[in-house]
Amino acid sequence: MVKSNQKLKKIYLDYAASISANPSSLHILGIEAKLKLQNARIEVASFLKARPQEIIFTSGGTESNNLAIQGVINKFFELDFKFIPHIITTNIEHPSVLETFKILKKRKLVEVSFVSVEKSGIVDPKKIKKEIKNNTILISVMYANNEIGTIQPIKEIAKEIRYYKKYKKNLSIFPLFHTDAVQAVNYLDLNVEKLGVDLLSLSGTKIEDAGRVGVLYKKNSVKISAIFGGGDQEMGLRPGTENLKEILKFSNALKFLQKNKDKENERLSKLRDYFIKKLLKSFSNIILNGDLEERLPNNINITFLKIPSDLLVIELSAKGIMVSSKSACSSSQKGGSYVIESINSELDKEIGGVRFSLGKKTNKADIDYTIKVLFKILEKLKKWYK
């Protein structure tokens, strides 16, 4: 007989289920894992001001975006409506949204409207409203752009959609509204009720120490269908054993982020404005890409006229300064940035823009050093690019 005060010895003989405890297992380790998973779900829901059952864990932002978009399309066809659905997005979305829309269009499963943003890199909500039709079932607009950092008017777009649905006679559940908030999570308010969204995507890769995991917020009243087969985890929408270790990292990182967001945003905004002012004052023939005010506090995207952005990235890297010329998700594609091209179509496609993104360890001395290095690089290159 085991005494009540004696610690129970644990022997793990469930290796066929998982190397670590599987939250779906019925033994004590599985139950403990499930409790940890539920607590993490509660923490993430609290961050978004949502309900725990509205939180679906995925492998990352790309999967979350695909589950939102294709999940809505799949559910639509399951409901057996007798018309082709129409979906709307902008022309500067992340590739995981833009390419998914293009694939669905190519397969002739949907009609698509790609709404152009303004020169500021911000979409006009009235242009979104103008594209809504009787067969529109989904609108997807990113909260903040991953290249130029512009912040989209999500609340205003949601308002236009609500107004349209209020006076629509049929199919009042549509259109649904999705936002890719992957770039926004560190800096902007993600209260889903205030934003007015039905679906929202997040990724741990953009949060320090958050782990490789993603989240899809799905409003309780919204119905979507799974895009993969193989299991009933995550409310039957995301099959496969949950990556508990990474999920716990993600929920813990969100708690830390919540405590420090306002203070860090203020610090980064001052550094960003200082950097932009120094760049515009120090160099001629440059363009700030994206709106000066409605942009993320850590983002500066500059086009140096006549000098290819890829060349500047390489030259800066040689001096120990790491920047980028376009989204890492599209860096293997030939040509310049489609985002820069969308707002500056008169530019040479190969010129593009250089993205300087600030972070926790960035300080004023780093910015001053970068300006000095840029002076030397541009002096070196000017004989080739006059």
Q: What is the pLDDT of residues 52-110, one digit of tens each?
A: 999 999 999 999 999 999 999 999 999 988 899 999 999 999 999 999 999 999 999 99
* Contact status, residue 175 vs residue 165, Cβ threshold 8 Å: yes
Domains of the chain, residue spans: 53-240, 261-381
Confidence of residue 363 (pLDDT cuts 50, 70, 90): very high
Confidence of residue 330 (pLDDT cuts 50, 70, 90): low
Question: What are the tens digits of pLDDT across the range 227-273?
Answer: 998 888 999 999 988 999 999 999 999 999 999 899 999 999 999 99
- What is the C-alpha separation between 184 and 261, in angstroms, rounded? 12
Between these two residues, 74 and 21, which has the higher pLDDT value? Answer: 74
Q: For the chain, what percent of residues have pLDDT higher than 90?
A: 76
Peptide bond into 175 cis (omega under 30): yes
Architecture of domain 53-240: 3-Layer(aba) Sandwich (3.40)
Which helix H or strand E contains 93, and what residues bound it? none
DSSP letter (8 states) at residue 7: P
pLDDT of residue 326: 73
Buried b (16+ CB within 10 A) or exposed e, 106-135: eeebbbbbbbebeebbbbbbebbbebbeeb
Active site residues per annotation: 329
**Is the per-residue pLDDT at 20 higher than 80?**
no
Show the tokens assigned to 60. 């990352």
pLDDT of residue 314: 96
* Contact status, residue 226 vs residue 239, Cβ threshold 8 Å: yes
Nearest CA among 161, 171, 193, 201 for reference residue 75 = 171
Show the tokens assigned to 93. 């979305």
- Helix/strand/coil (H/E/C) assignment for every residue in 325-377: CCCHHHCCCCCCCHHHHHHCCCCCCCCCCEEEECCCCCCHHHHHHHHHHHHHH
pLDDT of residue 187: 97
Between these two residues, 175 and 334, which has the higher pLDDT value? Answer: 175
**Is the per-residue pLDDT at 195 higher than 70?**
yes
pLDDT of residue 1: 42
Query: The domain 261-381: what is its CATH number?
Result: 3.90.1150.10
Q: Which spans in 132-238 are helix H?
A: 154-166, 192-195
Question: What are the tens digits of pLDDT across the range 268-323?
Answer: 999 999 999 999 999 989 999 999 999 999 999 999 998 999 999 999 999 999 99
